[in-house]
Amino acid sequence: GAGVSQTPSNKVTEKGKYVELRCDPISGHTALYWYRQSLGQGPEFLIYFQGTGAADDSGLPNDRFFAVRPEGSVSTLKIQRTERGDSAVYLCASSLGSPGATNEKLFFGSGTQLSVL
């Protein structure tokens, strides 16, 4: 596709439920990032994939959060037993390579607004 696609754009769920958020990166981009952004805050790093593997998952807040990228393209962020504090915009971004090493631009999707009631 032309840009990073995230679905759904909005997700409302109840406390304790399980949710999956999907990210379809720009074709050919090997690097994929998940960030979380709360109102009035900057994006908070969650996890980074290079290809199929999670190269850095140090930002995942706890074991309720998990992400996969089985074929090196589409990624799914999974949240178990959702809590009200999980409510935020979940942003996905992709780049051809590492933004630090190669001056590669990070392209963000429009995000998924998650609301946990």
Query: Given the rule CB under 8 A, which residues bind other proteins?
Result: 31, 33, 35, 40-45, 48, 50, 55-56, 58-59, 91, 98-101, 103, 105-106, 108-111
Q: What are phi and psi of 100, to 5 degrees?
A: -80, -35
Cis peptide before 99 (omega within 30 of 0): no
Least Cβ distance, residue 32 to other proteins (angstroms): 11
Q: Please give the structure tokens belonging to residue 66.
A: 């998990």
14/28 with CB nearer other proteins? 28
25/43 with CB nearer other proteins? 43
20/57 with CB nearer other proteins? 57
Least Cβ distance, residue 65 to other proteins (angstroms): 15
End-to-end CA distance of the chain: 33
In angstroms, the CA 26 to CA 29 distance is 6
Q: Please give the structure tokens belonging to residue 79.
A: 């949240």
Least Cβ distance, residue 24 to other proteins (angstroms): 14
